[in-house]
Amino acid sequence: MQEIEFSEFVGLISLLVILLPLFSFLLILAGRKGRGANLALINISISFILSVYLFFFIWNKQPIHYQIPWFLIGDIEFKAGVLLNNLSVLMITLVSGISVLVHIYSRTYMKDDLNIHRYWAYLGLFCFSMLGLVISDNLLLIYLFWELVGFSSFLLIGFWYTRPIASQAAKKAFIMNRIGDIGFLIGIIIIFSQFRTLDITALFGDMGLVKTSLVDKGLWISASRQMPEVWLSIAGLAFFIGAMAKSAQFPLHTWLPDAMEGPTSVSSLIHAATMVAAGVFLIARVYPVFDPFVLNTMVCIGAFTAFMAATIALSQNDIKRILAYSTISQLGFMVMALGIGAYSESIFHLATHAFFKCLLFLAAGSVIHQLHHYRDEHSLDFDNQDIRIMGGLKKGMPITFIGMCLASSALIGLPLSSGYLSKDAILINAFEWAGSRDGIYTMIPYIMVITSWLTVFYISRLVFKVFFSTPKRMSMEQANQIQDAPKQMSYVLVILSFFCLFFAFSFNPFSFESSWLWDGFSSNLFQKVNLYHWLIPLILNIGTAVLIFTAYKIYVKNDGMSISEKNIFHRFFIQEWYLNELYRYLFTVPVEKFSNVCYWFDRNIIDALVLKSVTLISILSAISHWCDRILVDGFVNALGTCAKWIGHFSRNFQTGKLQHYLISMLLVVLSFFILTYFI
Amino acid sequence: MIPLSHFLIISACLFCIGLYAVLTKKNAIQILIGIEFMINAAVLNFVAFGKFDKVNGGGQLFALFAIVLAAAGVAVALAIILNVYKHFKTIDPSKINKLKD
């Protein structure tokens, strides 16, 4: 009895966590223009405090599953409820925590915007959908929130919708996500037709339906029904496609760099903890459904995405685009880790990445913000997001600089940083996994190592160009005048910097196994190879040191070493592997052509048919008009005329004179007589 | 012995003269005289056919009836004519056209 009351209580608290941002969405939209900052911040803060409370309640304890009946289809009852286990409490804490920081940051960053109330409202909706997504206990609810995340990201990316490029980016993000949504929906449908339930605990729990179902002689058999084995793979792939779109995996990643058209704080929120994490979260939630084939696909796609995005990040010049590709690359790491079965490492990396990527974006945001103000004050003319013209900002912006450096070191995986723990954990697991595979799979860990070296180089390039090198378009003195962002923004950077260091996650800076977070999901699948545990980080970090030094030489010292921007690789990378062009020619152009054909068809065939039928109908109506006038009316008029004539004729008999009546009578009698006797 | 057809011809002539008088005369009295002609034509027929009757004197009896009825009819008609005259100040039927309403 007490058990039930307790879970009801926790369920209500978690409901409050997700509903508070929704309230701020509704209230702010209903409220006055330009208001809502405080309301949004208060709501999300309460939400965060409650999530932390839940976190300490649930973490490493009995998961809580509280549900109520939702609706009935036939004899299958759907239930709605919350499922709080380690994964979901970690995620709500992460999401609401990052959201609070982004809210605080946005108060200053978005201060001058006229439509700020819309911004707060959309943020509320976004947090609501993301929090709802992570605590929902069945696939249908998750799908609902999944769609809401897509929709609210569309609103946020297109926040400056008056700029055509932003509204284009929003549309692109939405459409790309729709492709993934279809995958997710197909997955749900397959799961439902196999198991007749969408409840996550029942399906994917320890002794859940998916785990107890088996594949035998080409059939996928569950307790009650069976279908061909291939449907298991299709279901896995369908879920993976859903995750691919949200988590920006190749080939559905192109929306994410374009999404940089939204406000930087939004990019930070989308990238760090919320939207892109949703895909990884989904994979983690439905993990048992993936069969080896899908897992291998996941490994390949994750590794390829990580590598490709890193190469593109090498060549980009827009500070936010570099970070966007960096996100894609890191998501590739996570997806690859999930594919090899390193479930806990992947979630661990998700958490550490959330903090350092948020910090990277917010630091970049303050650089952009300060440059923007400086440019407006001194009426200069330059692109405030282009790292080629930046430089020398180290002196005037120490907080931003240090924050950026800490976040970068976490991204690189330098010792003592949080990234060192999680990223090297993934790499070590990749090597351990590859040890039991052959063929192309042995290549995977090496690709990941190369990718992480590429990561080192592109992020060093960014840091050195922005903070060290000589600025273009303004003098070094001018650059040194640019100050740190206002306090509210800088404090956020400081808080986030703390989470980029090892002690937020583990007491031992060199062993991910001692991390509390990793422990919470422990799923040690592989034979531990001790050699890897010290050799891989060592080799990685030697390479890292060399690369950072090289980048320093190239971008700061400028002593003869420079990278030509003429070679074919650079062109290939800066064009983002020509994927946008490829999609253009593969999808957009054919669709445009097809729609032109349809347009032509519409104009020339359908319209012509319509016009022809109009002519036909007018001819028909003219004919029927004629018939009506001449035949029908004519008949009626003839009858009338006839009656009138007969009336006139017979009137003549009615003279009123006696003798005329007598004559008439005589004639009638005579005519009867004649008729009777002579005819 | 006078054949029957002679009677019938005479009576037809009488009837036609009476009819002519009824239809053409401009005086109600003369029309009444025409009617008498026609009645008498009928009476003549009664009497002529009475010769071939199985019941003796049946035709003559009906003739007497008809004469009595004709006298009564004339009395009534003359009273009507008097009233018509009182009302219209004329007995010319072509001038009285109030029957049509």
Confidence check: pLDDT of A641 > 90: yes
Residue A560: predicted pLDDT: 55
Q: State the average pLDDT over residues A639-644.
A: 95
Residue A540: predicted pLDDT: 81
Nearest CA in chain A to B91: A658
A494 Cβ contact partners less than 8 Å away, ≥ 6 residues apart? A399, A403
Residue B17: predicted pLDDT: 94
Q: Where are the domains of chain A?
A: 1-211+251-278, 358-574, 581-671
Nearest CA in chain A to B16: A666
For B37-90, write each residue's pLDDT tens digit.
999 999 999 888 888 877 778 888 889 999 999 999 999 999 999 999 999 888
Q: Is this model's pTM higher than 0.80 or not?
A: no
Instruction: Give yes or no for B81 touching A (CB within 8 A).
Output: no
Strands across the sheet containing A226-228: A214-216, A219-221, A226-228
Compute the distance between CA of residue A275 and CA of residue A672 in angstroms, rounded to an integer.
Answer: 108
How far does B56 lie from chain A, in Å, by closest CA?
A: 31
Confidence check: pLDDT of A362 > 60: yes
Q: State the average pLDDT over residues A80-84.
A: 83
Percent of chain A with pLDDT over 90: 9
Task: Say if residues A256 and A153 touch (Cβ distance below 8 Å).
Answer: no
Lowest-confidence range among A85-94, A208-217, A613-622?
A208-217
Compute the distance between CA of residue A450 and CA of residue A437 in angstroms, rounded to an integer.
Answer: 20
E strands, A106-204, where? none
Q: What is the largest CA-CA distance in chain A?
A: 147
Q: State the average pLDDT over residues A416-421.
A: 81
Q: Hey, which of A15-24, A35-44, A220-229, A599-608 has the most confident mean pLDDT?
A: A599-608
How far does A625 lie from chain B, in Å, by closest CA?
A: 45
Percent of chain A with pLDDT over 70: 94
Nearest CA in chain B to A657: B97
**Cβ contact (<8 Å) for A659 and B22?**
yes
Q: How many CB atoms are closer than 10 A to CB A346? A: 29
Chain B residues whose beta carbon lies within 8 Å of the beta carbon of residue A656? 96-101
For A441-466, write each residue's pLDDT tens digit.
788 888 888 888 888 888 888 888 88
| Higher-pLDDT residue of A550, B9 | B9
Number of cross-chain residue pairs from A and B with Cβ atoms under 8 Å apart: 29
Residue A221: which H helix or E strand, with range?
strand A219-221
Confidence check: pLDDT of A3 > 70: no
For A171-185, write each residue's pLDDT tens digit.
888 888 888 889 889
Mean pLDDT of chain A: 82
Residue A562: predicted pLDDT: 58
Residue A525: predicted pLDDT: 53
Domain B4-96, CATH among 3.40.50.880, 1.10.287.3510, 2.60.40.10, 1.10.510.10: 1.10.287.3510
Residue B64: predicted pLDDT: 92
Crossing angle for the helix pair B28-50 and B58-88, to the nearest 10 degrees: 170
Residue A501: predicted pLDDT: 79
How far does B79 lie from chain A, in Å, by closest CA?
A: 17
Confidence check: pLDDT of A522 > 70: no
Q: State the average pLDDT over residues B12-35.
A: 92
* Closest in A655, A656, A662 to B23, CB measured: A662
Contacting A residues, span 595-654, partner chain B, CB-CB under 8 Å? 654
A231 Cβ contact partners less than 8 Å away, ≥ 6 residues apart? A190, A194, A220
**Cβ contact (<8 Å) for A659 and B23?**
yes
**Cβ contact (<8 Å) for B22 and A662?**
yes
Banded model confidence at residue A625, pLDDT cuts 50, 70, 90 = very high
Q: Where are the domains of chain B?
A: 4-96
Residue A273: predicted pLDDT: 64
Crossing angle for the helix pair A398-412 and A343-377, to the nearest 10 degrees: 150
Chain B residues whose beta carbon lies within 8 Å of the beta carbon of residue A659? 22-24, 31, 93-94
Chain B residues whose beta carbon lies within 8 Å of the beta carbon of residue A657? 93-94, 96-97, 99
Residue A529: predicted pLDDT: 61
For A323-341, write each residue's pLDDT tens digit.
888 888 888 888 888 888 8
Strand partners, A501: A417
How far does A637 lie from chain B, in Å, by closest CA?
A: 29
| Higher-pLDDT residue of A394, A363 | A363
